[in-house]
Amino acid sequence: MTFGAEARDFCGSADDFGPLDKEQIKAIRKGLKVMCRECQMGVAAAQLALSDAGLAGKTEPERAGICFGSDYMISLPDEFTEGIRQCLDEGGQFERLRWPTDGLPRMSPLWLLKYLPNMPASHLAIYNDLRGPSNSITLREASAGAVIAEAFQTIVRDQADAMVVGCTGTRLHPLKTIHATQQEELATCNGDPTRACRPFDRGRCGMVLGEGAGAVVLEELVMAQRRGATIYGEVLGGSTSSAVGARLVARRGRAMRNATSAVLGSAGVAPESIGFVHAHGLSTRRCDAEEAWAIGEVFGGRALPVPVVAAKSYFGNLGAGGGMVEFIASVLALHHGRLFRTLNYETPDPDCPLAVVTEAGREPGESFVSLGVTPQGQASAALVRRYSG
């Protein structure tokens, strides 16, 4: 791997979790010992979202829930070092039959709690007394649209008034990096790392691995209005789709097309009214071409091409966390009326006939669709429109 996008400003201390009361600070400092880095980032992002929403004390605990997404979580090799050392013979070879008696007892009894993908939701429920519906989704890069869809439907079904919705992920974990190197197309272009991620550009040479987390608070509209909350946008729906071909080969384009068509159809929104699409924009040759086909299938009949942005050009592929960070970026663009540009898009690719936004400050329109897809062909989409009051 030539390039990586590490979240260096996140240190995993209580200071990273935003404004907290004394009891929360005490609980989080204690809980950090049983959180892996992904979990820490996810909980921190959600605590910041809760602080921004000012939800504390404004809703019944039983009416506030959580829906959180993540990648598959893997233990760090260091967790096993001491146990393995106890199982080496005189020649330094590992004797597996000694593991149950000599190795396993050297493992921390709380080791597994650090790597369970439902732990971000569990910690958040405890720290904030959220007793409503709780769900954890492990759909990798498609997690954001999936958790938004689930939280949206939970509120529509009147099972909750508010939901903390977030995703966390990393592709920089030692073992995950090995998996990516073996199975996916990584950017290997020499030169400036800030130019390595080039969504839809003809000269793209692969994705940049990164890490990160994002979270929002979804709330029933009347309740948010009644308590004077800052409303950044109005979620109209979310959807998911999965498509594979022969020998389980992913059909990412078809999955993204299906998810996009489904969310527009369920909300009763025409493709012509969408202000922009926040693409998955992975920056690999195949995935970008498949996504461009999917966007063309849904929006190709418009009088004017739909504007397309891809925030991965700024920070790479954050795994499950990427879709939520991209969703937040799009909501803020809609809220402030200024669309951001896609970095490093210089030479159009005939395989990606899209209207990629290359200038900052463009009017974002009244709504957007955000897309995500996994290497296995699982896709999701979320639809948001500008809040007009």
Q: Locate the domains of the chain by residue range.
A: 12-73+116-385, 77-113
For residues 166-179, average pLDDT: 91
What span, in angstroms and rounded, lies between the C-alpha atoms of 151 and 263?
14
Task: Return the number of other C-beta atoms located less than 10 Å from residue 60's C-beta.
Answer: 11
Give the pLDDT band (50/70/90) at residue 191. confident
Q: Does residue 177 register a pLDDT over 90?
A: no
Bridge partner list, 68: 136, 166
What span, in angstroms and rounded, lies between the C-alpha atoms of 326 and 10?
18
Query: Which residues are CB-neighbours of 39 under 8 A, at least 6 positions away?
Result: 73, 114, 119, 120, 123, 168
For residues 18-22, average pLDDT: 92
Q: Whose CA is closest to 141, among 320, 307, 8? A: 320
Average pLDDT, the chain: 95
For residues 78-105, average pLDDT: 95
For residue 89, the model assigns a pLDDT of: 95
Q: Percentage of the chain surpassing pLDDT 70?
A: 99
As separate numbers, helices (DSSP H) first and strands (DSSP E) second, the chain gives: 11, 11
The model's pLDDT over 118-171, given as tens digits with 9 standing for 90+, comes to 999 999 999 999 999 999 999 999 999 999 999 999 999 999 999 999 999 999
For residues 183-205, average pLDDT: 91
For residue 388, the model assigns a pLDDT of: 86
For residue 376, the model assigns a pLDDT of: 95
Task: Return the number of other C-beta atoms located less than 10 Å from residue 23's C-beta.
Answer: 9
Tokens of 158: 């009147």
For residue 25, the model assigns a pLDDT of: 94
Query: Which residues are CB-neighbours of 210 under 8 A, at least 6 positions away?
Result: 4, 5, 6, 7, 170, 171, 172, 315, 316, 317, 318, 319, 322
Bridge partner list, 234: 385
Bridge partner list, 351: none
Tokens of 35: 């959180």
What pairing do the DSSP bridges indicate for beta strands 134-137 and 64-70? parallel
Tokens of 76: 């760090």
For residues 238-255, average pLDDT: 95
What pairing do the DSSP bridges indicate for beta strands 367-373 and 378-385? antiparallel
DSSP per-residue letters across 94-126? B-GGGIIIIIGGGS-TTGGGGG-TTHHHHHHHH
What span, in angstroms and rounded, lies between the C-alpha atoms of 90 and 13?
41
The sign of the CA dihedral 261, 331, 233, 220 is: positive
For residue 343, the model assigns a pLDDT of: 97
For residue 1, the model assigns a pLDDT of: 66
Q: Does residue 332 register a pLDDT over 80?
A: yes
Task: Return the number of other C-beta atoms located less than 10 Å from residue 363's C-beta.
Answer: 12
For residues 204-227, average pLDDT: 96
Tokens of 233: 């946008």
Give the pLDDT band (50/70/90) at residue 3. confident
For residue 86, the model assigns a pLDDT of: 95
For residues 357-384, average pLDDT: 97
The model's pLDDT over 267-279, given as tens digits with 9 standing for 90+, comes to 999 999 999 999 9
For residue 386, the model assigns a pLDDT of: 96
H-helix or E-strand containing 278? strand 276-278
The model's pLDDT over 277-303, given as tens digits with 9 standing for 90+, comes to 999 999 999 999 999 999 999 999 999
Q: Does residue 326 register a pLDDT over 80?
A: yes
CATH number corresponding to 12-73+116-385: 3.40.47.10
Q: Does residue 72 register a pLDDT over 90?
A: no
Chain centroid to CA 266: 23
Bridge partner list, 381: 239, 371
Q: Whose CA is closest to 151, among 173, 177, 132? A: 132
